[in-house]
DNA sequence: GCAAACCCCAGTGGAGAACCGGGGTATACT
DNA sequence: AGTATACCCCGGTTCTCCACTGGGGTTTGC
């Protein structure tokens, strides 16, 4: 139930890509890592899995970098964390004597998961960007 | 976001204690472990943390065992998992350059947690027991 | 007093998180 | 063409936590 570093990094990186989305220019790992102070070699791995999941695409070579494959309002936070956290179809693991009680417990846990996922589904990268901008405005107001 | 073994075991054990609550007699680790097929030495540790959290009390010596400290409808699933999962006050860990973006991300994660916790808050051990009984009835119906 | 229970502490094996590093490959620019 | 600049892939490391096992101590009922 804790927000992992992985997911936070991924969200921050995609948020950065969101704000540069309209330029059409790719953003480089180094730039993202510097702005959000994320270890760059680690971020590289995360972006690789995001690429494999189809959320971003990469351009190799000089002047390369990463771009979102979709508009920021089409990518939900659920898309991000579920791919980075590796949902794995959650597997319904074992064979062994599953008691009635454990079925009941797992059933209610599904409700918990669905409640959490509902929240993640309703927010998009766009929403995050807007919240950040709103927060920036607030900070400026208070500064004056 | 996955249900850990720990929490599942703890919930199953408390569910077992719930059904024997009206007898007033203590239930032993071995009995609980056998019925829910949980490794007993492991369950011992979980019951110890539940005891330290005040959810159960223990009776030592021969004919000893564990009892709920409260009625089953007074113990929410949130009480159980938060104590077993060790909430640790979630610590707001680091000092370092927290960016505006990461504050926004964490703010939305709080919403996710609260949604999950809301579900856990609304269910009690009593509810689990009733669901189990209902499920048993269903199974009997289908069996005929 | 003795066996049945809980109590405490310690250790182990495996998995995953959060990194770091090296060498390979594609691409833009000169 | 050649070179610098990016991404790409594969590996290892340290650390923490989970799930579990084991040994020895203490309380209690018969």
Return the H-helix or E-strand segment holding A56. strand A56-59
Q: With an 8 Å Cβ cutoff, are A85 and B15 in contact?
A: no
What per-residue confidence (pLDDT) applies to B139? 86
Distance CA(A17)–CA(A11), nearest Å, equals 10
Q: Which residues are within 8 A (CB) of B77 and not within 5 positions of it... i.e. 6 or more apart?
A: A108, B11, B120, B121, B123, B124, B125, B128
**Residues A66-83: what's their mean pLDDT?**
97
Nearest CA in chain B to A138: B100
Write out chain B residues lying below 8 Å of A111, CB-based. 119
Q: List the CATH number of the domain containing A64.
A: 1.10.10.10
The answer to whether residue A7 scores a pLDDT higher than 80 is: yes
| Domains held by chain A: number | 1
Total-model pTM? 0.92
| Whole-number percent of chain B with pLDDT over 70 | 92
**Residues A52-68: what's their mean pLDDT?**
97
- Which two tokens mark B88? 């640790």
pLDDT digits (tens, 9 = 90+) for B8-53: 999 999 999 999 999 999 999 999 999 999 999 999 999 999 999 9
What per-residue confidence (pLDDT) applies to B86? 81
pLDDT-based confidence at residue B142 (cuts at 50, 70, 90) = confident
The answer to whether residue B120 scores a pLDDT higher than 90 is: yes
Count of pairs with CB atoms under 8 A, one residue in A, one in B: 107
Rama region for B86: left / alpha / beta (φ>0; ψ in -120 to 50; rest): left
The answer to whether residue A87 scores a pLDDT higher than 90 is: no
What per-residue confidence (pLDDT) applies to B61? 95
Count of CB atoms situated within 10 Å of the CB of A136: 12
The answer to whether residue A93 scores a pLDDT higher than 80 is: no
The lowest-confidence range among A12-26, A92-106, A110-124, B59-73 is A92-106
The answer to whether residue A48 scores a pLDDT higher than 90 is: yes
Rounded to the nearest 5 degrees, what angle is found at the Cα of B78, between the Cα atoms of B77 and B82?
120
Write out chain B residues lying below 8 Å of A135, CB-based. 100, 103-104
Which structural domain range is residue B69 located in? 5-143
Q: With an 8 Å Cβ cutoff, are A116 and B120 in contact?
A: no
Contact A85, B112 (CB under 8 A): no
**Residues A116-141: what's their mean pLDDT?**
95
State the DSSP string of chain B: -PPPHHHHHHHHHHHHHHHTGGG---B-HHHHHHHTT--HHHHHHHHHHHHHTTSEEEE-STT-EEEESS-GGG-BHHHHHHHHTT-GGG-----S---HHHHHHHHHHHHHHHHHHHHHHH-BHHHHHHHHHHHHHHHHHHH-
Strand partners, A76: A124
**Residues B61-72: what's their mean pLDDT?**
97
pLDDT-based confidence at residue B94 (cuts at 50, 70, 90) = low
What per-residue confidence (pLDDT) applies to B1? 80
B60: CB within 7 A of chain D nucleic strand:
yes
What per-residue confidence (pLDDT) applies to A144? 75
Q: With an 8 Å Cβ cutoff, are B106 and A135 in contact?
A: no
Which among A3, A71, A13 is positioned nearest to A46, based on CA atoms? A13
What per-residue confidence (pLDDT) applies to B92? 52
Closest partner CB to B123 (pick from A103, A106, A108): A108
What per-residue confidence (pLDDT) applies to A142? 84
pLDDT-based confidence at residue A94 (cuts at 50, 70, 90) = low
Contact A85, A31 (CB under 8 A): no
Nearest nucleotide to the CA of A48, by C1', is D8
Residue numbers of B between 86 and 115 with CB closer than 8 Å to A:
90, 96-97, 99-109, 111-113, 115
Mean of pLDDT over chain A: 92
The answer to whether residue A1 scores a pLDDT higher than 90 is: no
3 state DSSP class of A57 = strand
């Amino acid at each position: 139930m804790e927000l992992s570093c992985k997911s936070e990094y991924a969200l921050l990186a995609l948020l950065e890509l969101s704000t540069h989305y309209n330029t059409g220019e790719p953003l480089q790992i180094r730039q993202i890592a510097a702005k959000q102070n994320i270890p760059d070699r680690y971020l590289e791995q995360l972006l690789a899995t995001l690429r494999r999941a189809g959320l971003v695409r990469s351009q190799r070579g000089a002047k390369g970098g990463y771009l979102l494959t979709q508009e920021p309002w089409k990518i939900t936070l659920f898309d991000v964390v579920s791919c980075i956290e590796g949902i794995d179809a959650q597997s319904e693991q074992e064979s062994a004597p599953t008691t009635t009680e454990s079925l009941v417990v797992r059933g209610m846990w599904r409700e918990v998961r669905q409640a959490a996922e509902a929240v993640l589904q309703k927010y998009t990268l766009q929403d995050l960007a807007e919240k950040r901008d709103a927060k920036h405005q607030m900070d400026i107001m208070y500064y004056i």
